[in-house]
Structure 1
Amino acid sequence: MTSAPSGPGRGAHTVRARGLEQHPHERLTLDPGAWMPLASAHHDRADALTAGHRARRGTGTRHPIDDFLYDYYGTKPSLLRRWHPGPGVVLAPSPDGPAQHGTWRWYTTDRDGSVGLDVDAFLADRGDTVHYVRTLLAATASRPARTACFGLHEWAMVYHQDDALRRHSLPLRLGRAGTDAVVDSHLIRCSHIDAYRFFTPDAVPLNRVVLTRQNQVEHEQPGCLHANMDLFKWASKLGPAVPGDLLLDCFELARDVRTLDMQASPYDVSSLGEEAVAIETPQGKDVYVARQRQLAERAALLRERLIGTGRELEATT
């Protein structure tokens, strides 16, 4: 068993880099002086990220960008606030007793009061999920990023649709006829099932490929906004196996992806304080692709970390 020094800076680095420095079966023990500052910093960061959503709860107001992630992914501020050290990391007891993680699902407390993730118990319950997530993300990472969709999935979701059926209350920036004309004048190249499944009936046959849940692994690619936003979903599904900093990194990325998603959508987002990315113009397409590539670069690093987490878990079996 390896013991980490109590300095929070070194502790943070060691936990984040353990997939590169540790054997899958080796356990790293963090003293309270190392892990308690990490947990506290995580709580502060999560609180800052969720402040707007928490302030709006109970007011009846919804923010189409910020609140979307909570509705779409079914997450809660309390779940984001929960800090996990990740597999193979053991939290030594403080003078007040064992870490509260010992009361959480899939954690175990040793006789000396040290607390860590019971990987065997976690895999017994979630092994299939771990394997699927790793397989999907590895397949996605193996492909080149395609950046010629221009965010038209959001436009396909309102194509020829009655205004009363729209998922958002925001007005259409170009109006009904102008919105439909943009779809009619472009190729629809969506590669993500969870965008495609919201296409209107008239838009479905316009896509270059028929997407299903069964062929999701075959079609996801790392340039896709939705695939990159979904890294937060996969991090959430891996639960306590994902270190807290990685979960919040994925959440921040998802929020930034959603911002571009809505800026490039047919909706008028000026009331949200956002500037439209007019993908119907050459200049708007250039802006969209540049930002899409920046997000894809960030996502690639997080995807590799999630793949590494999956491999680390499966290596323990």
Structure 2
Amino acid sequence: MPSPTVPVPASATVPATVLAPEEWRARTAAHEARLAAFLDAHMERRHEKVKHPVHDFLFVYYAFKPSQLRRWHPGYGVTLAGAGEYEKFKGYTVHDGDARVTPEFVASQRVLLETLARLLRATLRATPNFGCFGLHEWAMVHGLDEDETRHNSWPLRLGTAGTDAVVESHRIACSHFDAFRFFTPTARPLNTLAPGPDDRPAFEQPGCLHAAMDLYKHAFRLSPMIPSDLVADCFELARDIRILDMRAAPYDLSGLWIDDEEFVPVRIETAEGKREYAEMQRGFSERAAPLRTELLHWCEQLLAVVDTETTGQSV
């Protein structure tokens, strides 16, 4: 379940809440402890120059640095008493040692807020599709030799010919542009949809695992205006979805362990694998829905702050 967050009041009056030093420091410690195991393991692998075909994606594809994810923010409308160190963070002002995100910073993010609100609202209204079976990962290697694939340290489970045959024998309906854009030239014409970079609201749908993963991207782009607890919720969802994404991928990841469990493929080329994938996809879609709704709520409330700031009213 999403962590409780402090809602922005409809009046957009600040400060709405003041946290004493002992309270916000305790929340900071809890946030850091929540993410420590994953982030510490990632940083250790990075120091040792060890690549991870599943987890590295969360810091290679997504731009939020581990240090940024580890840092706790209360969100707009909350003042941190005795938090002078927050002066160095974007969006904050510090007065008499008390720190808060400014309405001026929120106003500067109007385009982002409007864009995300439009996308989130459209996705919530769309009909989910649970019949894609993760074929985007297969389409990303179609027609390639094994040494040309993104994870060429790992072989393809069915070899190149077998992988290509799976792609060519299925109806591909990838609605997510940031997956579709990585299709190989031979696979692109096989997609029954043609999502583009500027029409995401027309294609995004709540059954898409990558749309759910991108809730993490939307959340960190809204930081520090939204609580870090919500960012962490979205990160954990993206982390768990990424595991399924690669379990259903064409790569043979035998010998890889995730969270003390041996990595087991979801063989989407079989009827049983398709059923397993679709069932897990539905579960992730249900888990993503309240997070998507909460992000939309924050966008709408922050846009109310923008409107108040624009009209010159007191905030």
Q: Same fold (TM over 0.5)?
A: yes
Provide the residue aligned with 1:7 in structure 2. Answer: none
Provide the residue aligned with 1:74 in structure 2. Answer: 63
One of 170, 185, 206 as aligned partner of 1:222: 206
In 1, are the aligned partners of 2:175 and 2:194 still within 8 Å (CA)?
A: no
Provide the residue aligned with 2:310 in structure 1. Answer: none
Larger relative contact order (CA 8 Å, sep ≥ 6): 2
CA displacement at 1:23 relative to structure 2? 4.4
Q: Tell me, in whole angstroms, the C-alpha distance in 1 between the residues paired with 2:103 and 2:294.
A: 18
Provide the residue aligned with 1:147 in structure 2. Answer: 130
Q: Supply the AA of the counterpart residue of 2:94.
A: T
In 2, are the aligned partners of 1:102 and 1:116 still within 8 Å (CA)?
A: no
SS at match of 1:58: helix
For residues 7-18 of structure 1, what are the structure 2 equivalents within 5 Å? 13=4, 16-18=5-7
Deviations 1:206-245 (A, max 9, x none): 1111121121111000110111111111111112012111
SS at match of 2:61: helix
CA displacement at 1:133 relative to structure 2? 1.2
Provide the residue aligned with 1:314 in structure 2. Answer: 303
SS at match of 2:76: coil
Query: Quick check: 1:239 aligned with 2:223?
Result: yes
Q: Tell me, in whole angstroms, the C-alpha distance in 1 between the residues paired with 2:254 and 2:237.
A: 22
SS at match of 1:240: coil
One of 246, 263, 272 as aligned partner of 2:247: 263
Structure 1 portions without partners, runs of 5+: 1-11
Q: Supply the AA of the counterpart residue of 1:275.
A: V
One of 100, 108, 111 as aligned partner of 2:93: 108
In 1, are the aligned partners of 2:6 and 2:75 still within 8 Å (CA)?
A: no
Provide the residue aligned with 1:281 in structure 2. Answer: 270
Provide the residue aligned with 2:23 in structure 1. Answer: 34
SS at match of 1:161: coil
Q: Which has the higher mean CA deviation after the structures are superposed, 22-31 or 220-229?
A: 22-31
4+ residue stretches of structure 1 with deviation over 2 A?
Answer: 21-26
In 2, are the aligned partners of 1:149 and 1:189 still within 8 Å (CA)?
A: yes
In 1, are the aligned partners of 2:146 and 2:156 still within 8 Å (CA)?
A: no
Q: Tell me, in whole angstroms, the C-alpha distance in 2 between the residues paired with 1:123 and 1:217.
A: 23
Q: Tell me, in whole angstroms, the C-alpha distance in 1 between the residues paired with 2:107 and 2:71.
A: 20
For residues 118-157 of structure 1, what are the structure 2 equivalents within 5 Å? 118-124=102-108, 126-157=109-140
Q: Supply the AA of the counterpart residue of 1:103.
A: K
Provide the residue aligned with 1:199 in structure 2. Answer: 183
CA displacement at 1:76 relative to structure 2? 1.7
CA change 1:23–1:104 in 2 (3 A) is: same
Q: Tell me, in whole angstroms, the C-alpha distance in 1 between the residues paired with 2:56 and 2:143.
A: 27
Q: Tell me, in whole angstroms, the C-alpha distance in 2 between the residues paired with 1:268 and 1:71.
A: 21
Instruction: Give the TM-score taking structure 1 as reference length.
Output: 0.90
SS at match of 1:246: helix
Instruction: Give the TM-score taking structure 2 as reference length.
Output: 0.90
Identity %: 45
RMSD: 1.5
How many residue pairs get matched? 297
CA displacement at 1:59 relative to structure 2? 1.5
In 1, are the aligned partners of 2:216 and 2:235 still within 8 Å (CA)?
A: yes
